């Protein structure tokens, strides 16, 4: 692709992707599938990779984060970000309404009602439609510069679109995290042995104030606009509801729960309506905000102290109650992580009876000084699992300490906690029923045993029906058993039986990878197979021996050694071998000639695809990375190589065109 052709295509792709972002995030009405969207984004990334000069600040690809900043600098808001007065009951709401009517000398008022997000307020400045800066509320006049992080949030447009884009506008809104995203984030944090967040608000605030935006880019943040500050534009914005409507037309997401309300009774009804569905919302809210709708009336009412007279937040009652912690039990997750769960004396929290609460990990239990028998404060927020907020130590009596178990309560395998991790894990792997579905899905996957036709849904169906509980059970299935399953005809059953039979012939590296040993991927599995050449020798390897292997550090060595020390795992392996799984031991296999070397591929290859080249290099022991550094040994380039090739030349790294690369491979055969 020539430069000018690439320029036009990149611009067309940006417009198309921005249109689909608007349909997805703002209109909630996507017109293409996620896969089709990914294809468009991949094409744009490839063009910008090959022609780095074509990258624009507002390109949808520029959301992955940049190098860390040293500190968050201060940003002065053009118009102050004011706080809101609060109301806690109906009488205070009616008093608010009365004050405004008397001040304006009117008999009735029109309000805008909207949910009060429980997140972190931000102010985003757009100049001529382009995002310039983003800052936290701070003290209302000066906030912290979080532009680098806000740019990573998918819902925030990097450039406004539509008609009559203002010369300048400050968009006020809230950065939040959904309950689903919060749960997934904490699961990942626990899996990595890192700090878990207390609630979605803390998670959103902590993510937004990261110095490293590459971390923020991995966090499931969302954004909703709820107003404006300084504004210089042609469009005459006469009401709050018209402001929100216009923001949406310019590509900014606004809450779909916003409503135009006639009079105080309508406001109170709306408050009750939102309160009734509060627990069903995707994100946390802590009240409802009511604003006088007409901008002219807002100006007339003005401000008192640092809050507008024309707006108020009607807060919901707290989602906390007191109950007794009766016991602490252990749940084993799909990755083997052991999570302590509090069993509580039943208590009604925000209309829902709560009997369990997550305790996250032993460090969290110790930090909060939680003991069995304590009286505790329990919080519930939407679909998030309830949690213990704090202990009431004044009521402590007849309590006992909790200790993590040494063996898995599900399968009896050893439980380990690696240095630097907060999580205890069962290393039963193949034999632990708490982990079996994920273990079987991995075992059957294309890069493992490659059992064609055995997808996730069928595996779940097989386990839930009781036909299988471990990977070894797959090879005991019969056609007669399979045809009893829903949507499984005779032909499909025959095909699956044939696929199972075909999968029995494999390679040692595939078999090792299929075992699902923690942190043992394809490359490590191949290295182990090439080093030991037999499963028996791998089973007998010590951690000290394993650590001498390239790219196998202490943690991975411990994982491999521990896996093969569990008799349950060895029993499963023996059953698999007895079922007929085999591989040919070939002493003359190709040596890992590129072991320890780092390659980068760039540009368009003609004889083989970049993926084929990558797989070939990995099979020969190489590392294939996406960026060029001083540690890179070779850069293999094709047509339209772009910035990676230029950086290689700049750093003095050896470059190979496709012809030279293929000759190198042939020479090393």
Q: Report helix, strand or coil for 10.
A: helix
3-class secondary structure, 661: helix
Residues paired with residue 308 on neighbouring β-strands, in sequence order: 303
- Report helix angle 610-619 to 522-532, nearest 10: 30
Q: Could you give the CA distance from residue 209 to residue 195 in angstroms, rounded to a whole number?
A: 16
- The string of DSSP letters for 191-203 reads HTT-PPPSSHHHH
What Rg value do the Cα atoms of the chain yield, rounded? 30
Edge-first strand order for the sheet with 654-657 is: 623-625, 598-602, 634-637, 654-657
Contact 160, 129 (CB under 8 A): yes
Under 8 Å CB-to-CB from 403, ≥6 apart: which residues? none
Burial class (CB in 10 A: 0-12, 13-18, 19+), 583: middle
Helical segments of 452-553, H only: 456-464, 479-482, 490-503, 508-514, 522-532, 535-540, 543-547
d(CA 96, CA 98): 5
**Residues carrying an active site annotation:** 116
- What whole-number distance in Å separates Cα of residue 669 and Cα of residue 664? 9
Do 182 and 196 contact (CB within 8 A), yes or no? no
User: How far is 669 from 665, CA to CA, in rounded Å?
Assistant: 7
Residue that the structure tokens 């967040």 belong to: 197
Contact of 411 with 433, CB cutoff 8 Å:
yes
∠ Cα 401 406 409 (to 5°): 95
Written as one string, the DSSP assignment of 378-445 is EEEETTEEEEEEEE-GGG--S-B-----SB-TTT--BEE--TT-S-EEE--GGG-TTTHHHHHHHHHS
User: Where do the H-state alpha helices sit in 309-445?
Assistant: 362-367, 436-444
Identify the sign of the CA torsion 565, 566, 567, 568: negative
Q: Which residues are CB-contacts of 545 (< 8 A; sequence separation ≥ 6)?
A: none
DSSP-based three-state secondary structure for 282: coil
Q: Are 369 and 359 in contact (CB under 8 A)?
A: no
Nearest to 334 by CA among 507, 191, 155, 514: 191
Q: Is 450 left (phi over 0), alpha (psi -120 to 50) or beta?
A: left
Q: Which residues contact 412 (CB under 8 A, 6 or more apart)?
A: 428, 568
3-state secondary structure of 290: strand
Helix (H) or strand (E) holding 344: strand 337-349
Helix (H, G, I), strand (E, B), or coil: what is residue 178? coil
């Amino acid at each position: 692709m020539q430069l000018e052709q690439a320029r036009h295509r990149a611009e067309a792709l940006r417009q198309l992707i921005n249109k689909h972002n608007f349909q997805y995030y703002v209109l909630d009405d996507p017109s293409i599938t996620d896969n089709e969207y990914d294809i468009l984004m991949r094409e744009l990334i490839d063009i910008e990779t090959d022609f780095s000069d074509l990258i624009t600040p507002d390109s949808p690809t520029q959301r992955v984060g940049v190098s860390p900043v040293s500190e968050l600098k201060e940003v002065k808001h053009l118009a102050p970000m004011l706080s809101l007065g609060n109301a806690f009951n109906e009488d205070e709401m009616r008093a608010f309404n009365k004050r405004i009517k008397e001040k304006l000398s009117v008999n009735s008022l029109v309000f805008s009602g909207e949910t009060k997000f429980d997140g972190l307020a931000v102010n985003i400045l757009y100049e001529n439609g382009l995002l310039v800066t983003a800052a936290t509320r701070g003290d209302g006049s000066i906030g912290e510069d979080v532009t680098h992080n806000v740019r990573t949030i998918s819902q925030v447009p990097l450039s406004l679109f539509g008609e009559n884009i203002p010369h300048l506008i400050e968009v006020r809104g809230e950065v939040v995290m959904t309950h689903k995203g919060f749960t997934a984030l904490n699961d990942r944090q626990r899996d990595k042995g890192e700090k878990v967040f207390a609630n979605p608000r803390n998670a959103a605030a902590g993510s937004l104030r990261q110095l490293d935006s590459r971390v923020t880019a991995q966090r499931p943040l969302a954004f909703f606009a709820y107003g404006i500050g300084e504004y210089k534009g042609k469009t005459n914005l006469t009401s709050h509801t018209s402001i929100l409507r216009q923001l949406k037309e310019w590509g900014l997401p606004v809450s779909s729960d916003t409503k135009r309300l006639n009079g105080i009774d309508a406001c109170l009804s709306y408050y009750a309506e939102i309160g009734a569905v509060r627990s069903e919302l995707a994100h946390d809210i802590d009240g409802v905000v009511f604003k006088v709708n007409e901008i002219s009336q807002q100006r007339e009412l003005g401000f008192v102290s640092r809050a507008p007279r024309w707006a108020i937040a009607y807060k919901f009652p707290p989602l906390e109650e007191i109950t007794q912690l009766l016991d602490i039990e252990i749940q084993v997750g799909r990755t083997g992580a052991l999570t302590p769960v509090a069993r509580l004396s039943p208590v009604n929290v925000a209309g829902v009876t709560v009997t369990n609460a997550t305790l996250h990990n032993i460090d969290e239990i110790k930090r909060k000084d939680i003991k069995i028998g304590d009286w505790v404060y329990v919080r519930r927020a939407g679909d998030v699992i309830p949690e213990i907020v704090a202990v009431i130590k004044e009521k402590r009596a007849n309590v006992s300490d909790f200790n993590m178990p040494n063996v898995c309560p599900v399968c009896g395998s050893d439980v380990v906690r690696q240095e630097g991790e907060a999580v205890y894990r069962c290393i039963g792997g193949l034999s632990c029923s708490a982990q079996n579905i994920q273990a079987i899905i991995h075992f059957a996957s294309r890069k493992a045993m490659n059992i064609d036709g055995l997808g996730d849904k069928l595996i779940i169906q097989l386990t839930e029906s009781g036909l299988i509980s471990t990977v070894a059970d797959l090879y005991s299935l019969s056609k007669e058993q399979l045809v009893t399953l829903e949507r499984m005809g005779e032909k499909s059953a025959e095909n699956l039986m044939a696929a199972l039979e075909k999968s029995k012939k494999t390679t040692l590296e595939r078999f090792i990878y299929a075992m699902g040993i923690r942190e043992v991927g394809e490359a490590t599995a191949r290295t182990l197979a090439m080093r030991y050449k037999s499963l028996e020798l791998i089973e007998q390897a010590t951690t000290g021996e394993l650590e001498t292997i390239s790219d196998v550090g202490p943690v991975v060595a411990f994982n491999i050694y521990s896996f093969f020390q569990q008799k349950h795992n060895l029993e499963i392996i023996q059953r698999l071998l007895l079922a007929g799984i085999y591989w040919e031991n070939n002493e003359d296999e190709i040596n890992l000639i590129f072991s320890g070397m780092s390659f980068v591929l760039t540009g368009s290859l003609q004889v083989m695809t970049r993926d084929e080249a990558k797989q070939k290099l990995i099979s020969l022991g190489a590392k294939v990375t996406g960026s060029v550094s001083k540690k890179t040994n070779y850069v293999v380039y094709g047509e339209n190589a772009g910035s990676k090739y230029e950086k290689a030349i700049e750093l003095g790294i050896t470059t190979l065109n496709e012809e030279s690369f293929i000759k190198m491979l042939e020479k090393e055969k």
